[in-house]
Amino acid sequence: MLTVKLPSDMEARLEAVAAKVGRTKDDVVLAAIVEEIQDLEDSLIVLERLQDGKAEFYTMEEVRERLGLTS
């Protein structure tokens, strides 16, 4: 279990958003935490690939060609 104390202005914002989307505050907070963790995990993967030298880089023209977007 995790308990987080929010500043009163953030609590009010959370309550307003939850009410507008018809969800509980817990649901909104959990969704935000899940998204942030996923973003952080993705960032860590990028950093690992950059550091191990296995990252591949493409120019915008190469990307367009690979996607068949050249005219």
Which pLDDT belongs to residue 31?
Answer: 98
Say whether pLDDT at 71 is over 90.
Answer: no
Token digits of residue 18:
């939850």
Summarised one tens digit per residue, pLDDT across range 49-64 is 889 988 888 999 999 9
Query: What is this structure's pTM?
Result: 0.72
Summarised one tens digit per residue, pLDDT across range 30-52 is 999 999 999 999 999 989 988 99
Give whole-number Cα distances, 64 to 46, 50, 58, 70, in Å. Answer: 22, 23, 10, 6
Which pLDDT belongs to residue 66?
Answer: 93
